[in-house]
Structure 1
Amino acid sequence: MNKVKTVLLNVILLALAIVTIVPFIWMLLSAFAPNSEIVKIGGSLFPTPSTFANFVNIQEKFNFLGMFVNSLFVALLTTAIIIYTSALMGFVFSKFQFKGKNLLFGVVLSTMMLPWAVTIIPKYEMMVDFGWLDSYKALIIPSMVSGFGIFMFRQSISQIPDELIEAARVDGATDTYIFHRIILPMSRNSIASLAIFQFLWSWEDFLWPYLIISDESKQLLSVGLRLFNGQYGTDYGGLFAATSISIIPVVIIYLVFQKRFIAGVASGSIK
């Protein structure tokens, strides 16, 4: 009976995996196909790959390389800042005692309950008042703190024994030393998990960069991809080619941190 359940579960998971990956394969094949083949009615399910022109002509359509670098800079910097601030605040909330700590942490958690769309107008008005429109400051500074990251690090750091920290303090270690030399190295699984999530969120963010950045030389790739949509048609081949290249950093980030990410999930399930 257990074998039947296992086989049935595997079949269901395989079916779901196929449903998920088929559109991705279709996009990759379409990146090597001309538009006439992509939009052809009555053709095969998958376009026939026959050209590299879509990849060759990407830079001619728009400043692909510049926007790629812009997106990479903003995503990496935002991810690094959020990891550091989340770990620091998670350390404070888990290992320090002060008046109003639970209330303050409750406020942090409440920010996770608000739909992101609710904060767009207030944030935009603040950027206008600060004079930060068309500036990377408007993309990076409002994203320096993550309620999700703080919550995740608080839960992770709370598993570190208090005796270890007290022993370090007895040996003369300052809180700054403890955080950088003990807490951060022991939080590598959480760092990897948050790095994957945050980089993905920053890389694929469309609406906020679209509202803030108007200078094409500063624009991000997620917004630049819409330039393939013309008034009278869409260059699907070029769009799919650019999209295929744009997912490479996400894949690299996952490959770099996947072992720590899986280890973190496994350790969390065991606990």
Structure 2
Amino acid sequence: MDIQHIESFWPFFQRFAIDVVVAVLILALGWTISRWLGNVVQRLSARSDRIDPTIIPMFRTVVVWSIRIFTVIAVLSQFGVQTASLIAVLGAAGLAIGLALQGTLQNIAAGIMLLGLRPLRAGESVTVAGGVSGTVDEVGLFLTRIVQADGVQVTIPNSTVWNGNIINLSRNHNRRMDILAFIRYGEDVNRAIEVLLKLLDEQPVALKMPEPSVFVSDRKDGTITLTLRVWSSAGDFTNLQNDLNRQVQMRLEQEGFQSPMPVRVAVDTGKHP
């Protein structure tokens, strides 16, 4: 009796075994093709000058998971699942999940806006919400990765980046810096300005246009404050800033100018010997 039952179910077992094998093959083939095609898209996109590097990771993700979703649907249809009903169920489930994951959807929407309007791109130096500064590594579907100057990687939700101020330090080719110098009251201001202008003229990476300038910006506490205003390319900005900060007071002292001394004001406490 048991053998007869087994024999009656044997055709079903055969069909099921064949369906399982075919489903596994479809799944393995779909996953392999999705990974291969994703890598191809990434390589071809990286070679093109017209495609922003920031959008490449998201483009690859969309291609990979689009193929994998169709693969899963093909596997389910192999077992006789009605894909139309499945799509309807997935739509309802997607609506429920979307309501539960509003924050995640905000990150996706913000990621699309960041990639569309491109206020920051991979490789650019930026300061974003929360005061995080560094080089943009990747803008993904949910998160933005920034590598700080100390090598630490910071991952920020896209919605946080999009809803805050984005300061792009390298988008423009040239940047201006203001360097402060200090001399005492009574010193020859005009000669100090000439000395500092000569210092600026000696800097090979300082731009000649707009023309560098030096002017008096403040007077208080026995100190005259001079401001050196100069432009440089974005790539040379940090080095030039460091060089001038190191050389300005040194050059003034070499030319005979004395550094200001702090002014101390005596306070009468009312106590007398």
TM-score range, shorter chain: under 0.3
- Higher relative CO (Cα under 8 Å, sequence separation at least 6) belongs to 1
Larger radius of gyration: 2
TM-score, with length taken from structure 2: 0.24
Between Structure 1 and Structure 2, the one with more helix by share is 1
Query: Going by fraction, where is strand more abundant, 1 or 2?
Result: 2
TM-score by length of 1: 0.24
